[in-house]
């Protein structure tokens, strides 16, 4: 069974640009969550999607948005990039089945804003 995949793995953008990151969950998983990891702030929850609906959102500005498609693939978008958006963006998927607790993480997308 294929794991969570994220594309691209590395990205360099300029301040003010926008970026779209993609996440493909494990087959059969309908929940996708996004996290931002920085040395200063650690791992912070961005948002969670389930069946194409956002059902939880972290404390991030509106420049951060996301969506989920009918095949459970998810994208997150960051508009008007700032230097502080440089981070490792991790996507995780999980199954809503009883007894399945853990989230499975992808390898992440490392975004550098210059």
Partner 1 sequence: AQKITQTQPGMFVQEKEAVTLDCTYDTSDPSYGLFWYKQPSSGEMIFLIYQGSYDQQNATEGRYSLNFQKARKSANLVISASQLGDSAMYFCAMRDDPQHDKVIFGPGTSLSVIP
Per CB under 8 A, residues contacting partner 1 are 31, 33, 35, 42-45, 48, 50, 55-56, 58, 88, 90, 92, 94, 101-108, 110
> In whole angstroms, how close is the CB of 103 to partner 1 at the nearest point?
6
Q: Which CB, 14 or 98, lies closer to partner 1?
A: 98
Residues 6+ apart with CB under 8 A from 70: 52
Asked if 22 contacts 93 with a C-beta cutoff of 8 angstroms, the reply is no
CA contacts within 13 A on the Cβ side of 90: 15
> In whole angstroms, how close is the CB of 106 to partner 1 at the nearest point?
7
What is the DSSP code string of 36-67? EEETTTEEEEEEEEETTEEEEE-S--TTEEEE
Q: Which CB, 14 or 40, lies closer to partner 1?
A: 40
> In whole angstroms, how close is the CB of 16 to partner 1 at the nearest point?
26
């Amino acid at each position: 069974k294929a794991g969570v995949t994220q594309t691209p793995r590395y990205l360099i953008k300029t301040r003010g640009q926008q970026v779209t990151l993609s996440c493909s969950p494990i087959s059969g998983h309908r929940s996708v969550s996004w996290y931002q990891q920085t040395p200063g702030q650690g791992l912070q929850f961005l948002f969670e999607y389930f069946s194409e609906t956002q059902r939880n959102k972290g404390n991030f500005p509106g420049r951060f948005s996301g969506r989920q498609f009918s095949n459970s693939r998810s994208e997150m978008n960051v508009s008007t990039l700032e230097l502080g958006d440089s981070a490792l963006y991790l996507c995780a998927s999980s199954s809503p089945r009883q007894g399945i607790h853990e989230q499975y993480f992808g390898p992440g997308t490392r975004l550098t804003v210059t």
